[in-house]
Chains A and B, each alone.
Chain A
């Protein structure tokens, strides 16, 4: 990212439901263990990404994940946990 673009990034009104493409590699904080499905979930705005794998002890951690599929209409996706990068702050 150039120095100029650093100043301009984010100059827009962002949706509460961001979308993702299958195959996309993303870094997210794992939000919770969904009680109904028993799956880990990363909530990005109002969009919910369900993990195919991963243990409960990574809730709150920043992880590297790959998007396997995404439903634009429902704002739901499925991702695979690749690597735990760090714990969340505090």
Chain B
């Protein structure tokens, strides 16, 4: 590989601009775990995550000259990932609407099928689906802060929002999640505490 792995992101970008595609591969391998985690948090669907992830890096390659290094490259890529995820969410909304009730609807036609009843569903799955029902402005902060573990300051920087806005959206987003998950809490309090 013609490019040293120790090079900084900015140095790698310069190499890419000179036509060295192996530098782009290093950038991609360096940042793809964070990009994948954010998109998966936003979409909750591995196939869509793969497609949107590809689009993130292709979009970055096409507009690489626009990256001026004002923010960290990871921040820049996550911004692209969030924006493309929201585009995907909007496309899905146009295709079909998912209501809160769908969260607890059983895949089985048998109402007595205990395996598929909400009580026995994995909390994580329910929580992921609950996050998918949130409005995108809440979803963004919940995914970055709660799912991906960015600090509130980092979340504010990635989303280019004031810290106060991030905190209030976090509060509202969490309250909405609690409301959505109320039926689950009632039955699974013990399970929840063991996770």
B is a partner of A: no
